[in-house]
Amino acid sequence: MSASTRNIIAWVLQGLAGLAFIFIGGMKVKDLSATLENFTKMGFPAWFGYLIAFGELLGGIGLLIPRTVRLAAAGLIIIMAGAVYMHLFKIPNGAATVAPAAALLVILVVILLLRRLAPNAV
């Protein structure tokens, strides 16, 4: 695959994932009380809900900025790995709803790999 093709694929995935995380994080921030309630029901402290909500929102923005793509993707990979784990093992009937989180995790890994393969193509 040429560097140009890799760059185009990376930008398309970054744009789609960035918009998805801006939406997802934005919804969590918009309804912060429900977000914090959901996280405390799962046994997490309230500050963790803030961390995830703002992390997703800022990570989504970071995917759209060339200088921060790798850092944003790496941070979001950690968040989404946790989300997949929670869906599979901690959330009742979460296995039925794990697909979007797993898909975003795979997309983030692909973005990170494409950007590591072509570090100068931003």
Per residue in 49-78, pLDDT tens?
999 999 999 999 999 999 999 999 999 999
What is the distance between the alpha carbons of residues 53 and 92, in angstroms, rounded to a whole number? 21
Instruction: Identify whether 122 is part of a domain.
Output: no
Q: What pLDDT is recorded for position 10?
A: 94
Instruction: Identify whether 111 is part of a domain.
Output: yes
What is the distance between the alpha carbons of residues 21 and 57, in angstroms, rounded to a whole number? 6
Query: Once rounded to an integer, what is the mean pLDDT over residues 80-99?
Result: 91
Instruction: Identify whether 46 is part of a domain.
Output: yes
* pTM, 2 dp: 0.90
What is the distance between the alpha carbons of residues 22 and 33, in angstroms, rounded to a whole number? 18
Q: What pLDDT is recorded for position 1?
A: 76
How far is CA 109 from each of CA 16, 69, 102, 106, rounded to the nearest angstrom?
Answer: 14, 12, 11, 5
Instruction: Identify whether 25 is part of a domain.
Output: yes
Instruction: Identify whether 85 is part of a domain.
Output: yes
Own/partner long-range contacts of 66-74 (Cβ < 8 Å, ≥24 apart): 66/122, 67/122, 69/10, 69/14, 69/111, 69/115, 69/122, 70/112, 70/115, 70/116, 73/108, 73/111, 73/112, 73/115, 74/112
Question: Which pair of tokens denotes residue 62?
Answer: 């970071």
Instruction: Identify whether 112 is part of a domain.
Output: yes
Domain of 17 in residue numbering reads as 3-117
Count structural domains, the chain.
Answer: 1
Question: Which pair of tokens denotes residue 74?
Answer: 């790496």
